[in-house]
A and B are shown apart, each in its own frame.
Chain A
Amino acid sequence: AQSVSQHNHHVILSEAASLELGCNYSYGGTVNLFWYVQYPGQHLQLLLKYFSGDPLVKGIKGFEAEFIKSKFSFNLRKPSVQWIGTAEYFCAVNVRGSSNTGKLIFGQGTTLQVKP
């Protein structure tokens, strides 16, 4: 069965530090990849997505992610984080071409706490 693994469950950074959140998936076929963010009390917001082409994708709010097919990874990065309190980040994978296309499989989530 397909699965998504996020290595860090809770990350604490100081403002202006660089961020990298790991995401690995288990599936050998073609995938679509997503990163979502959820602020307390708010709905999930799409940060970026990868479908094809350049494996380095840029999203909103200065986030980017790199798809490394050989490593089954899609790590999220940001050069400098702002103080936002706490938010939860989810990596998700959609197996393209299966009968369940559109069904997203989520990782467990990473809570990011940024200190001023």
Chain B
Amino acid sequence: DVKVTQSSRYLVKRTGEKVFLECVQDMDHENMFWYRQDPGLGLRLIYFSYDVKMKEKGDIPEGYSVSREKKERFSLILESASTNQTSMYLCASSSTRRLLTGNTIYFGEGSWLTVV
């Protein structure tokens, strides 16, 4: 069974702090994603990575950066947290090898970040 694990379920940080959200998957997936979920807006893609050290901007990358040094781990970084980054953050992964037969994305349980 695919498992996507996010290290922190609930975080409270102060404005201006540097925040790291960590995500690990155990299925050797090539693709990893970070979304944020806000009421009435659905899930919006922040960044995704299709290989180690490779990354692409999603729809709302401003204020965020990412790191993928190992295949199983994808980190989201808020260099200087702001109150408008208070949100639920979801990590996901998927396999490119299964692309033609059905490429399902698997999600972690989410990290609730509050910036005060």
Contacts and interface: CB of A to CB of B under 8 A. Distances in A.
Interface of A: 4, 6, 9, 32, 34, 36, 42-44, 46, 49, 51, 90, 92, 94, 100-109
B104 A49 contact: yes
B74 interface: no
Contacts of A44: 90, 107
21 contacts: A32-B102, A43-B109, A49-B104, A90-B43, A100-B48, A101-B96, A101-B103, A102-B31, A102-B94, A102-B99, A102-B103, A102-B105, A103-B45, A103-B58, A104-B33, A106-B43, A107-B42, A108-B40, A108-B41, A108-B42, A109-B40
B100 to A, nearest CB: 9
A17 B110 CA distance: 31
B50 interface: yes
Nearest to B35: A106
Contacts of B50: 102
A115 to B, nearest CB: 21
Nearest to B99: A101
B105 A104 contact: yes
Contacts of B107: 36, 43-44
Contact of B103 (A4, A94, A107): A94
Interface string B97-116: 00101111101111000000
Contacts of A100: 48, 56
A109 B56 contact: no
Interface of B: 31, 33, 35, 40-45, 48, 50, 56, 58, 90, 92, 94, 96, 99, 101-105, 107-110
Ordered nearest first, which 10 A-B pairs have the shortest CB separation? A106-B43, A106-B42, A43-B109, A44-B107, A108-B42, A102-B31, A109-B42, A102-B94, A51-B102, A43-B107
A103 B44 CA distance: 10
Given A103-B33, A106-B43, 7 more contacts: A46-B104, A49-B102, A102-B31, A102-B99, A104-B33, A104-B43, A106-B44
A9 B48 CA distance: 27
Contacts of B40: 9, 108-109
Nearest to B48: A103
